Amino acid sequence: MKKLFTSAIGLTVFVVFCIPVFSFNVFAKSYQLNYANFPPASTFPCVQMERWKKEVEKRTNGAVKINTFPGGTLIGAKGMMDGVIAGQADIGNLCMAYQPGRFVITNAVSLPLNIRDSKTGSLVLLDLYNRLKPEAFSKVKVLAMFTTAPSNIMSKKPVKNLNDLKGMNLRASGGAAQILKIWGANQIGMPMSATPEALQKGVVQGLFSSVEVMKDFNFAEDCKYVTLTQTAVYPFAVVMNLSKWNKLPENLQKVMDDLVREQSEWTGNYMDNHVKEAMQYSKEKQGVEFITLAKTEHSKWNAKLAPVVDDWIVKAKAKNIDGDNIVKVLEELINKHKN
């Protein structure tokens, strides 16, 4: 009886002390992953990167360690996709607008289809990707997708009508570049990180982007005017090297899969709130004037954009891409997600 009692106590002690060990060893092996990003650490793509890192490390009980590299220190903006595919980084954040010919389907989210905020744009982009599975992403694992808020004109001189805009050199890329050309501006393509110097040297007189850059890149010091057009979002994707992804155990993959939609929506919400903060900062700290176009003037700007979608469909068809269906899907998703 005494021997049985002793054995029972021993078994109880074993169970009590081993339960925590088992629970903390759900992820038996640890993994280190390098995550490359191209803009400065303070910008929204890097803020979302740090949030994703924190969540993954927390939800895997530290079994996954993410080393982050902002500011193009590991891979530059235009080389991000190929760098991740080649294994220069395990994970990378890329702006699809920098390679419009490569990401035709997902860049369609930049068409003037009245996406009013980043949260809507981010969910539309992710759903578009999930629905159509573009070939451009066949060699990577997608971990998140999101967009900027709608673009506006930030400039050194006020722009109140199309005549003010005519001939002005403005930084833009992707679908936003086409919009500027239609309005009569000279579109200058360059990464956002190169724009501060271009502004200071007079290479450009402004840019066409979402307003958070007024604070994040301190453009409010040079661009004292913002013309509110609320047009064109820029699409981003977070992708992972496929070989590295396939080497992760299923329970770790599930943690990251479960974060895809959550991270995309979180980034959209963060972006929308950050735009409001940047506008307040620009007005109160830098004396920036925000210009709302007169109703009749804004109608002229929008009228010029009417052929953009039709032209894009024609060009997509020339590449054997069903542009009509993509636009139809986009319109459906925008209506579904709009706030």
Q: What pLDDT digit, counting tens, does each position of 326-338 carry?
A: 999 999 999 999 8
User: Please, what CATH class does the domain formed by 28-149+234-275 belong to?
Assistant: alpha beta
pLDDT at 28: 62
All CATH 3.40.190.170 domain ranges of the chain, comma separated, are 28-149+234-275
Distance CA 205, CA 165 (A): 10
Which residue reads 């992820």 in tokens?
A: 27
Instruction: Give ranges for CATH 3.40.190.10 in the chain.
Output: 151-233+286-307
Q: In the chain, where does DSSP find H-type helix?
A: 2-24, 44-59, 80-86, 104-107, 118-132, 162-165, 175-183, 195-201, 213-216, 242-247, 250-286, 295-318, 323-337
pTM over 0.85: yes
pLDDT of the residue at 176: 84
Largest separation between any pair of C-alpha atoms in the chain: 99
Torsion angles phi and psi, residue 151, rounded to 5: -85, 150
Per-chain mean pLDDT for the chain: 92
Residue 253, exposed/middle/buried by CB under 10 A (0-12, 13-18, 19+)? middle
Render pLDDT for 1-44 as a digit per residue (tens, 0 to 9): 444 444 444 444 444 444 444 334 455 689 999 999 999 999 99
Looking at the structure, give the CATH architecture of the domain made up of residues 151-233+286-307: 3-Layer(aba) Sandwich (3.40)
* Predicted local distance difference test score (pLDDT) of residue 255: 98
Tens-place pLDDT, residues 273-298: 999 999 999 999 999 999 999 999 99
Q: How far apart are CA 118 and CA 234, in angstroms?
A: 9
Query: What percent of the chain is modeled with pLDDT above 90?
Result: 86
